[in-house]
Structure 1
């Protein structure tokens, strides 16, 4: 591995901001698209990838012509998908945040499953400067896989809409070079 940079960009603000958006395929705001375009401005990338969900795909499309890869989708929140946190049983939501493998959302995806598919997506990336437009969950899964952070540590990262995470890839992992939020 040559040490090519890997840029992970969270999509811009969606029209349904403030909700548990996993598989919900909603539009992104114009301001969200503009924020992603501005954040990616000046990055020298040879490969552009996006989640197949519209909020990531549209942001990536404003930057270039992305390859679409559904493995970069957000965690599936099952029955909670599209709901605000206040609409979810607080005890069940607390159990999920404490251990998303043991207490996934009803009908939703386990953290380990997300990590598995992101690992597969990472392995498929070429060893060239790459920008992936994705979601907060897959960005955290990538930090877990590439940098060795545990689940609790990755949830401590603030990844607002249009946050850019810069990783320097190397044999066996990656090093964080920057986070612009």
Structure 2
């Protein structure tokens, strides 16, 4: 069986930076949208998906217009829900609680927030539903890490070592099957 290209594009810069933005629906900057459109230009894709949050949805819509391709909005590609910490700067959060979260986000999720395993499960379900054709997904850093965990087998510690700045494009070759797997083809900051 042949593989297919899967491109994961992190949204461009939002209007507010330096915050834990999970479900917080902050608009992207025009420059952030333009950077995503530029990064996607030249990709040969048959399907385009985006998280339903504005910072991804608006970039996905602009890419769809440029590529003459409909965008499917899928909330499973949202960022981790940071619960009570959502929309707050790290400096505003108890440093010990934040350190415990980064060390083990499953055992120490944000208060009223989402566990890492829940993010990984919903992104895994979204991956399972993808058609095996070249696909671009405009999403968030946490969702990209969850996809890399599922498809490439990276553990959480390894995933935090990836630098995924705004507008980064992670391209994978995916081999479908009962348990899809992938190989990283490129990472373009």
Q: TM-score range, shorter-chain basis? A: over 0.9
Counterparts of 1:155 and 1:142, CA distance in 2? 13
Shift of 1:2: 2.8
Task: Name structure 1 gaps, 5 residues minimum.
Answer: none
Counterparts of 2:63 and 2:106, CA distance in 1? 34
Shift of 1:18: 1.0
Once the two structures are superposed, the pairs formed by residues 1-181 of structure 1 within 5 Å of their partners are: 2-64=2-64, 65-171=70-176, 172-181=180-189
Q: TM-score, structure 1 length as denominator?
A: 0.98
Shift of 1:150: 0.4
Pairs aligned (count): 181
Counterparts of 1:175 and 1:138, CA distance in 2? 17
Q: TM-score, structure 2 length as denominator?
A: 0.94
What's the Cα RMSD here? 0.7
Counterparts of 1:91 and 1:16, CA distance in 2? 25
Task: Name structure 2 gaps, 5 residues minimum.
Answer: 65-69
* Aligned-partner SS, 2:111: coil
* Range moving further from structure 2, 166-175 or 116-125: 166-175
Q: Residues 31-71 of structure 1: CA distance to partner in whole angstroms, max 9, x if unpaired?
A: 10011001001000000000010100001111003101000
